[in-house]
Amino acid sequence: MRFVTDLYSAQDAKTQKLGDAESSTETVAFTPSGVDAPSDSMPPEGGDQPLAWAPVEPAPKKKRLGLWIGLGVGAVVIGAGAASMILIAPGTTVAGIPVGWLTPGAAADVISAHVAETEVTLTGAGDDVVLSGSDLGASVDAGTLADKAFAEHPMWNLGSWMGEPVAGEIALDPTTADAALRDAVPTSFDDPVDAGVVFDAATGGYVITPSTTGTGVDVSALGEAFADAIAAGDKSLEFPGGPAEATPAITDEDATTFATSLNTMLGTIGFYLGEERTVPIDAATASTWFTVVDDEGTLRIETDQAAIQATVDALPAAVDRAPVNATQIVDSAGTVLRTEAEGVNGRALSDTSNLASDVADKLEAGEGVFPISVTETPFTAVTLLRKIDVNLSSQTATLYENGGVVRSWKISSGKAATPTDVGNFKVYAHVRSQTMKSREPDGSITETPNVPWVTYFNGDEGFHGTYWHSNFGNRMSHGCVNMPIDVAKFVYEWSPVGMEVSVHN
């Protein structure tokens, strides 16, 4: 049906109806150019029935091979682009381990595996024993380094391809490595002995116990060689397993420095009120409070809080005290002439429930000054009004304090020719001993050596001890007031400068 097919195609693949009963009874058929329609294919004549064309069979589908090839190439391009967003650039290394073309997660696994599988062959005494990184406790922060490698060298950034290596720290666990080496080459190990510090009761101070050198396999040097081998791209290395010198972690010099600091602390150790070391602690007691221990190659103080508490419990007896009143000698006007005793506040130790713990903390920090606090009771000032009364008629001297008699003695005042002056005077000087010169009525001078305990109150008149007579109660002097030596000493010490003296008949 070529005519029908061509017509269908010409009408844009749609079924066409020709003729319109209302407008025309003539049906027009369109024939493609150059084609003669057979007479039996013409529509019937008459206008009663419009002509309806049957649908033409679908045209064959065009082959899409080129399109599918194009889509495949596009998918590859898109996939490569997506991959470049999650992969590490080619040529990237982490601590010497290649991680290019890998995701960060896969790179972390590769790094960890490489480190764990790297082998160390011990030579010499090691007898070619092989230990892996895993045996030696080798570790690396693989996850962080892989993330860093991706951040600095992503595949999508062509400028980061074959870039600078990413540095990474590979370390051996000292305890794990030491244990593995000891199992592998036990004959290479003779442990060194650290220097120590102990208390010497004979000298009352701390002294050192010397260190000794040993042998072993240098774990630190092995760790460096292990990391260098991986950085060079190797997965194996050789290392001497024979005994090498092993120095003590604590040398004699270290211990001497520590002992010196402790002995310095012993010179000031104690419980303090302000700047005052109220309760000093002797070295022997302090040595029971703590010991010096070797803590994995470091010297430190380890305290005994129970021993400290025993001293703390005894502190009140050493700290607490009653107030001591101040004693002041005054004159009639209330002027202080001399302080006989300084006032001291009373005190009672405050709460000490945490003191032993505080002391322990300070000792462990190397400190020996332990502050304490007290509750104080103020002292009271007591005034003493002192006077000496000299009665020439009765030849007596009487000492008064706050109106009460302290002592009274017989004296020897001036003779009739050299009388003692009458009046109110004040003590103005004290002389422990001196040679006295006296003028006699005839004008001659008399010298008396070593006159003791002289208390002057009126010019050259004063109280003093007399060793050349004992006729007290009678006038015997050249104006001074003679007293027994012990009495003169008492007056000398009892009478401050400014004390009032009354001389009368």
pLDDT in the model for residue 461: 97
Q: Taking residues 283-311, what's their average pLDDT?
A: 97
Per-residue pLDDT, averaged over 275-299, amounts to 96
Residue 81 pLDDT grade (very low, low, confident, very high; cuts 50, 70, 90)? low
- Could you give the domains of the chain? 1-60 (no CATH), 85-196+210-249 (no CATH), 267-377 (3.10.20), 384-504 (2.40.440.10)
**C-beta neighbour count of 174 within 10 angstroms:** 13
Which of 72-81, 126-135, 144-153, 269-278 is predicted with the least confidence, judged by mean pLDDT? 72-81
pLDDT higher than 60, residue 100: yes
Closest C-alpha among 316, 319, 482, 311 to residue 395: 482
- The confidence score (pLDDT) of residue 319 equals 97
Band (pLDDT 50/70/90 cuts) for residue 423 is very high
Give the chain's mean pLDDT.
Answer: 86
| β-pairing verdict for 270-273 and 369-371 | parallel
- Taking the alpha carbons at both ends of the chain, their separation in whole angstroms is 182
What is the per-residue pLDDT for 212? 97
Question: What confidence tens digit (pLDDT) does each residue in 216-243 have?
Answer: 999 999 999 999 999 999 999 999 998 9
Which tokens hold the place of 210? 């010397």
Which band of pLDDT confidence, cut at 50, 70 and 90, is reported for residue 126? low
pLDDT given for residue 30 in this prediction: 33
Number of Cβ within a 10 Å radius of residue 136: 27
SS3 285: helix
- Looking at the whole model, is its pTM more than 0.75? no
> What pLDDT, in 10s, does the model give residues 433-461?
999 998 888 888 889 999 999 999 999 99
What are 20's strand-pairing partners? 24
Contact assessment for residue 19 and residue 50, using Cβ atoms and an 8 Å cutoff: yes
Question: 3-state DSSP call for residue 371?
Answer: strand
Does 431 have pLDDT greater than 70?
A: yes
Phi first, then psi: give them for residue 488, nearest 5 degrees. -60, -40
What is the mean predicted confidence (pLDDT) over 295-304? 96
**Residues 196 and 294 sit within 8 Å (Cβ to Cβ):** yes
What local confidence, expressed as pLDDT, does residue 84 receive?
74
pLDDT digits (tens, 9 = 90+) for 30-49: 333 333 333 333 334 444 43
Percent of the chain with pLDDT over 70: 83
Average pLDDT over residues 377-387: 96
- The per-residue pLDDT for 441 is 80
